[in-house]
Amino acid sequence: MELTTVWFCLIAVLWIGYFVLEGFDFGVGMLLPILGRDDIERRVVINTIGPLWDGNEVWLLVAGGATFAAFPEWYASMFSGFFLPLLVIVLALIVRALAFEYRAKQPSARWKAGWDAVITGGSLLPALLWGVAFGNIVRGVKLGPDRVVHGNLLDLLNPYALLGGLTTLTLFLTHGAMFLALKTTGDIQRRARRLSERLGVLAAAVAVGFLAWTFAQHGNAGSAALSIVAALALLAALAASLRHRDGWAFMGTFVAIATAVAALFVGLFPDVLPSSLDPAWSLTTANAAATPYTLKIMTVVAAMFTPLVIAYQAWSYWVFRKRIGAQHIPQSPPAGGGPGTSTPVTAGSGAR
């Protein structure tokens, strides 16, 4: 297998890792005002992702860096053509990170409510816009022979891409609800469970429509098979949730998102950015790649450090694996606390 194909697959894996891990972060953030009925419950909701969200964002940084190094033409054309939506995503991620850190700096209810709104909005916008961006990548953009994307924002907001945005939005909401059912106790867990079942039905309908449209216009046998697996995994997640098997339900949405993203990459290959003006102007794994020597060096570095990164993140998930409930949250958090506004209760509780 050529190194260009290897790195296309590795970048696909990085994006899959980002969407399945950061996806439940986005879902939890969007569900904060719905499942957190008072400050204690909202702190419980935030604490479920408090030790994890910043580590999950590393996948995005690595995916962007790998794309820049392995396929510089793809990186340049994509980020110039999608400048505005990507800028909105970056700004949303920045202010969301600030909200996690600054929410506990003042005891004022208005102060906390304002930062809670930032967490919700900073989760909703990326959840929607990532789907819009990838929808346009699969559909194709107005890429000219100069490898510059011609067009405007309205060209990106086409029906197919918007449906892709709704797909990621509803899948992440379901994923987040499943995660909260897995990580919480008491009333929050019961409400998260019920909500995940309703959201799952909506996500299944939207995702099936998007994947069917994708296969009809841009798919192949491999993407079709992965799309079927994604649909079955989402149905299995709903069945597990109905039986209160929260771990299996979360794994179901995990697999559903992973295989849905994989289906998009399989349908895209060997293109990396198709041109809707002329297929001959499309960027492919061959004409968008870096030099063979660069790819060889990158492969050696990735082989050395990727297992360490995965091992560390697996360890962090193991440490913070326990459930958290309102009983773990102090009534009066110390000023200047971290993302969850509370001090650690037990090792692995997820609260801090």
For 345, the 3-state DSSP assignment is coil
Note the Cα 124 to chain centre separation in Å.
11
Per-residue pLDDT of the chain (352 residues; tens, 9 = 90+): 689 999 999 999 999 999 999 999 999 999 999 999 899 999 999 999 988 898 899 999 999 999 999 999 999 998 888 989 999 999 999 999 999 999 988 888 899 999 999 999 999 999 999 999 999 999 999 998 988 888 788 888 999 999 999 999 999 999 999 999 999 999 999 999 999 999 999 999 999 999 889 888 877 888 889 999 999 999 999 999 999 999 999 999 999 999 999 999 999 999 999 998 899 999 999 999 999 999 999 999 999 888 888 898 899 899 988 998 888 887 754 444 444 444 333 333 333 3
C-beta of residue 140 within 8 angstroms of C-beta of residue 264: no
Distance of CA 336 to the CA centre of its chain: 29
CB of 122 closer than 8 Å to CB of 96: yes
Contact 14, 62 (CB under 8 A): yes
Count helices and strands (H / E) in the chain.
12, 2
Six-digit token pair at 75? 């990186």
CA–CA separation, 292 and 124 (whole Å) = 39
Q: What is the pLDDT of residues 117-151, one digit of tens each?
A: 999 999 999 999 999 999 999 999 999 898 888 87
Query: Using the 8-state DSSP alphabet, how is residue 189 labeled?
Result: H
Amino acid at 19: F
Helical pair 109-139 and 246-268, crossing angle rounded to 10 deg? 40
Query: Pick from 9, 135, 5, 130: which is nearest to 60 by CA?
Result: 130
